[in-house]
Amino acid sequence: MSSKILVVDDEPDFESLIIRNFRKKIKTKELDFIFARDGVEALEILSEEPSIDIILTDINMPLMDGLTLLDNLQLHYPEIKAVIISAYDDMEKIRSAMNRGAFDFLTKPIDFPDLDITIKKTLANVQQLKENKRLKQEKNEAEAANKAKSVFLANMSHELRTPLNAIIGYSEILLEDAQDLGYEDFVHDLDNIHTSGKHLLTIINDILDLSKIEAGKMDVHWESFDIMALIENVLATIQPLIEENGNTLEIICEDNQEPIVADPNKMRQVILNLLSNAAKFTENGKIILKFKVVNNDEDFISQNGDCNSKDKMLVLSVADTGIGISEEKIDSLFQPFTQADNSTTRKYGGTGLGLAISRHFCKMMGGDIAVVSEVNKGSIFTVKFPVPETGFIN
């Protein structure tokens, strides 16, 4: 596709000079020149030819000079780049033209190799601006679509969860009735319905949580609570999954058991997600949950400017002897819907949302998650975040 150049000059021989010096590029349709004798004619052409890429214009012309043309370009066609071509003794006007938005200038008599270089440079700038505009528009459209999706899912929370909770509740009642009445033929199927319903609810909860985070509808609720009591609550949920794969769990508490201030629900989900992953990806191995509250962590504080050096730090880690993660996969580990690789998803299942949500929750509470891992040796996930004084709840 030819690049269209509008040449505005009232000299009779200028058109023939341009055509003669650029005849090869005109013949190969690399460049397409359109000519006007003054600014008025140039504006008429622009109104009919919106695809003009650049303008080469003289300054001293009848009816409308080049400076007035530049003013009109700035007002009506700001995306079009103009190059001034004028006599050497017009330097004051050339300076004025540059102040009015001209991209570059050349002096007469024209050095055509220099003009060719200037045209190439100007066209490259125009193409880059067009590409940037296209990418920005696509980015805005993608962000708008993603936000609309997130808002929709966040608002659909009740509509999705309510019927599913009904399925889980009724299947649980029917399962208990079948067991009491001795209908053993139904027990297995009803148990599958109940288990699948709970699994689906977990997936929906993860998707809705991520959508709420992306839509900016997820809040932090600060409370003072006993971290050990919260961990014991998590263990009641996670213990069957740990035992299912023949794993053992060790808890190492280096805390003085003082209450901490955080969002207990988000803290519970972070610990549950980390222990679930450890249990899922470890067989006949060992999982260690270790936590402690320290006075501060200078390295962490220096990387997180919002942290108060007087805040205590909660440091919690989950180590396992599982399959591990290769170094090249760690960077994408916290991306939504991502697991170590496709084979992991096929073998172990899951949506790849747990770690993404956990990192979001930690960041919302002023912290973060880090991981070190070695393939076939295991992984250690470490959570750190500042813990305000128990007397201060924001």
- Tell me whether strands 54-57 and 31-36 are parallel, antiparallel or unpaired: unpaired
Contact residues for 180 (Cβ-Cβ < 8 A; gap 6+):
none
Amino acid at the residue 85: I
pLDDT of 174 higher than 90? yes
Alpha carbon distance 375, 212 (integer Å): 34
pLDDT of 376 higher than 50? yes
Of 64, 33, 4, 101, residue with least CA distance to 84: 101
Q: Positive or negative, the Cα torsion across 353, 354, 356, 361?
A: positive
Q: What is the mean predicted confidence (pLDDT) over 378-385?
A: 93
Alpha carbon distance 355, 274 (integer Å): 8
| pLDDT for residue 301 | 44
| pLDDT for residue 311 | 62
- Tell me whether strands 286-294 and 312-320 are parallel, antiparallel or unpaired: antiparallel
**What is the tens place of the pLDDT at every residue in 342-371?**
555 445 555 678 888 899 999 999 899 999
Q: Computed over its alpha carbons, how large is the radius of gyration of the chain?
A: 34
**What is the tens place of the pLDDT at every residue in 234-263?**
998 889 889 999 999 999 987 656 788 889
Of 49, 100, 99, residue with least CA distance to 73: 100
Region class of 246: left (phi > 0), else alpha (psi between -120 and 50), else beta: left
Asked if the bond preceding 109 is cis, omega within 30° of 0, the reply is yes
Determine if the pTM surpasses 0.75: no
For the chain, give the percent of residues with pLDDT over 90. 36
What is residue 320's DSSP assignment? E
- Give CB contacts under 8 A, 24+ apart, made by 106-109: none
Of 323, 217, 327, residue with least CA distance to 277: 323
- Tell me whether strands 248-253 and 286-294 are parallel, antiparallel or unpaired: parallel
- The neighbour count for residue 347, using CB atoms within 10 Å, is 11
Residue found under tokens 């919260």: 230
Alpha carbon distance 366, 384 (integer Å): 9
Alpha carbon distance 5, 31 (integer Å): 7
**What is the tens place of the pLDDT at every residue in 75-107?**
888 888 999 888 766 777 778 888 888 888 888
